[in-house]
Structure 1
Amino acid sequence: MASPYSPEPAPDLTRNRLPTLFEVLARRTLAPVDLYFFYIYMRDQKRAVDYLDFWLDVAQHMSMCRLYVRDLRRSLMVGTPDGDKTASKRSSALLENIGNLDHRDPAGPSMLKTEKNKNQDAQMSAFLREENGNGLGHSPSGSTGSNMRQTSSNDRPRPSFMSSPQVLTSDSNSPEHEVKRADIRSSALNIMTTYILQDALRQIIIPQPLVEEMIYAIEQQGRDDPEVFDAAKDYVFQAMERDAFPDFLRAKALGNLTPPSLLYRLILGLLGEFAGVWAGSVLCMTGASRATRAWLIIPFTIGMYGLVCWEFVMDPLLAFLGYSEYEPNKVAKAHEPYVRKLLARRSLSALVWWIVFAAGFSCLFIFVPSHYLGEPYD
């Protein structure tokens, strides 16, 4: 069952264009251009899944901070005993000015935030810094302990560990327990040790000034508010948007096969065409009848099918059935309406070329006059 805090935005089924990277990361798209397919693409083809995992972990960190501040604000609004009100007057004022944190807007790059969300996130970070500076460690339940399991990024339930791409739920936006103040600190430290520190197991390459700024803020200033990661998050978003996302759209919106499957079809196409040409030549030189040579339709059809799949980077039969491949020999139903239309149009073009070339090669060897080599020419 989904957490009541987890954002589940409805996909835009009327979108008559390709989605943006933010829409994919915000889970507003459907297969084959959803977050699951993008994760598999970054892992298997771009070999840069650490950047996407960094984004997901920072989004989780933002979600945890929102939940913590929201629940703390609610507890203060309801009213608590004076002995439990450990916040300073300044912290209380900051908390009251943050406003409603029940919105389901996903964490996004700074350039795509509205002014309202920018101000709200800035106030939330200011409160967390103020609270941390006072050493309060306050939580909605009055406890500073943490019941969050400490995990490395490799242990988290990423989409790659799911049995089906149809449902994409991850812990990145849906903490299913009450968030403690120590959880936020632990999350910030985990991000730093996993992705930022030199020689980290999954270190991402970002400008050194950003690295030094984050390490200083977390280690020296004791900060764990979301603004610590804003600059790095924006850099990673722009890197994925510039380098990986256009290739992802070309691969999944204009095609439906993975590179290994394309290679298999290319080999099948070359073997089929070679078999057709070789068999056709032999049959022509041995004086075989046209009825016998009509069997050449089979190798030429199979061979041209493989070559057309290679040329169009898609399988027209899979496209007509509405499926797209996310891993070799693993397919899922394509649900994004605009992408389905693109694939249908391209599959129709591929089908026409397939029929034309297969028929052309077949007719060439079926209707060409044959001659047995043992007989003299007239």
Structure 2
Amino acid sequence: MSSPSPTPDVPRHRLPTLFEVLGRRTLAPVDLYSFYIYMRDQQRSVDYLDFWLDVSQHMSLCRHYVRELRRSNLIETPDLDKASKRSSAGYDAEGDGAGPSTEKPMSDQRLSAFLRSESPSKHSPSNSHGSNTTNQSATGAEHTARPGLTKSTSQSPATGTDRSPPHASDSPGHTVTRQDLRASAQRILFVYLLPGSDREIILPQGILNEVTAAIEENGREDPEVFDAAKDYVFQAMERDAFPGFLRSKALGNVVPPSMMFRAIVGLISLFGALWTAFVLIFLDYNRQTRCWLILPFTIGVYALASHQYMLDPILALVGYSEYTFMKFARVNEPFVRKLLVKRSWSVLGVVVLIDAALCSLFIFVPGKRL
């Protein structure tokens, strides 16, 4: 069972940060689902985001395990409910502690210290229904769907077909044991980190050696095991992927396949308009007949401008953005909506000027029959 997403920060008079996107504090088209699709379809590096989300879910699993111990009164555990709040710039997705390690609340550090000090077989709740994941940890993961610790089968209302990224659940539907935490940590190691794994991500060798030794040799499964790898992945996404995501979704509203389609339509329409215009001029047709040139010229200029600016002005003015090819969803982020509307009027101004210039040239020029 997935927990509800946090309430988005409103109003926001700026573009969102990567912290806010990963924390599900933003709305379409700059939400986590859009970022997942961008990483999958354009960056071709969705494994990095999957790793981040699985580490976040591992943190939630650890929290749930400790809360169960506290509720069962078996052992004195850290008081996670009284944890200090993360700074507003930090990642605060329901307290899952998935932000950079330098910005983790003190409760996360106490949690990791507690898990390291506790014996794996001591005080573990019994009758777990989730421990069968141990045998799956070494088998890798499928490429066609995100191998989250808890898989989501919901479809996005934007596309109806594409799988949305799973949301880390802070309340698993079964009792969590120490063996479940162990299986979770091993699965992340086997799926993403070990050389030759199905979804291997590239990390510095020093970080990889530290994580492998901590899990396989020291038997650790506390969240701090993945701190260095998590910080490296976050910085890589923030530096390499996130700026392009904002350009694509906050300043534009069409995806690359649609841009290519518009470029083809625009070139064909513009070629047809020019060819027809010269034919009508050299056959000395009257200006009323040549007024039909407005139609192909307008289509051609509009399509090429949409390709050039990565923006469909009419689509933006009615409040929609393209998720995947020819599949649209409403723009719900207020600041992004304002940006798209402003850019749309600018693009429409360019289209009108170029279109008017071409139509005036080929309509009002004197005809001469050859």
Q: Distance in 1 between matches of 2:31 and 2:261?
A: 26
Provide closer, same or farther for how the CA distance between residues 200 and 35 of structure 1 changes in structure 2, counting only shifts above 3 A.
same
Structure 1 match to 2:130: 147
Structure 2 match to 1:314: 311
Identical-residue share of aligned pairs (%): 50
Tell me the CA shift for residue 317 of structure 1. Answer: 1.1
Q: Which has the higher helix share?
A: 1
Task: Pick one of 166, 169, 173 that aligns with 1:173.
Answer: 169
SS at match of 1:331: strand
- TM-score, L = length of structure 1: 0.86
Tell me the CA shift for residue 120 of structure 1. Answer: 1.3
- Indicate if the aligned counterparts of 1:42 and 1:49 stay in contact, CA closer than 8 A: yes
The letter of the residue matching 1:128 is: L
Task: Pick one of 323, 326, 329 that aligns with 2:323.
Answer: 326
Structure 1 match to 2:121: 136
Say whether 1:40 aligns with 2:37. Answer: yes
Say whether 1:222 aligns with 2:205. Answer: no
The letter of the residue matching 2:157 is: S
Tell me the CA shift for residue 173 of structure 1. Answer: 2.9
Give structure 2 stretches of 5+ with no counterpart: 86-93
Task: Supply the RMSD in Å over aligned alpha carbons.
Answer: 2.3
Tell me the CA shift for residue 357 of structure 1. Answer: 1.1
Task: Pick one of 193, 214, 220 that aligns with 2:190.
Answer: 193
The letter of the residue matching 2:123 is: H
Say whether 1:16 aligns with 2:1. Answer: no
Provide closer, same or farther for how the CA distance between residues 161 and 195 of structure 1 changes in structure 2, counting only shifts above 3 A.
farther
Task: Pick one of 356, 364, 367 that aligns with 2:364.
Answer: 367
Find the structure with the greater CA-based Rg. Answer: 1
Provide closer, same or farther for how the CA distance between residues 290 and 171 of structure 1 changes in structure 2, counting only shifts above 3 A.
closer
CA deviations 1:351-371 (Å, max 9, x no partner) are 111111112111111110001
Structure 1 match to 2:100: 110
- Indicate if the aligned counterparts of 1:37 and 1:165 stay in contact, CA closer than 8 A: no
Q: Distance in 2 between matches of 1:338 and 1:98?
A: 35
Q: Distance in 2 between matches of 1:176 and 1:317?
A: 46
- Indicate if the aligned counterparts of 2:251 and 2:340 stay in contact, CA closer than 8 A: yes
- Indicate if the aligned counterparts of 2:313 and 2:348 stay in contact, CA closer than 8 A: yes
Structure 2 match to 1:234: 231
Aligned length: 348
SS at match of 1:205: coil
Provide closer, same or farther for how the CA distance between residues 158 and 292 of structure 1 changes in structure 2, counting only shifts above 3 A.
farther
SS at match of 1:45: helix
Counterparts of residues 242-253 of structure 1 (less than 5 Å) = 242-253=239-250
Q: Distance in 2 between matches of 1:37 and 1:110?
A: 22
CA deviations 1:83-126 (Å, max 9, x no partner) are xx5xxxxxx45x25666479832433335625xx1x21111111
Name the stretch that deviates more: 362-371 or 104-113: 104-113
- Indicate if the aligned counterparts of 2:301 and 2:351 stay in contact, CA closer than 8 A: yes
CA deviations 1:55-106 (Å, max 9, x no partner) are 0000000000011101211211xxxxxxxx5xxxxxx45x256664798324
Q: Distance in 2 between matches of 1:340 and 1:112?
A: 33
CA deviations 1:130-159 (Å, max 9, x no partner) are 12xx342533xx316442563655444767
Provide closer, same or farther for how the CA distance between residues 365 and 27 of structure 1 changes in structure 2, counting only shifts above 3 A.
same
Give structure 1 stretches of 5+ with no counterpart: 77-84, 86-91, 374-378
Q: Distance in 1 between matches of 2:186 and 2:101?
A: 26
- Indicate if the aligned counterparts of 2:191 and 2:198 stay in contact, CA closer than 8 A: yes
Q: Distance in 1 between matches of 2:153 and 2:64?
A: 26
CA deviations 1:12-39 (Å, max 9, x no partner) are 1200000000100000000000000000
- Indicate if the aligned counterparts of 2:121 and 2:178 stay in contact, CA closer than 8 A: no
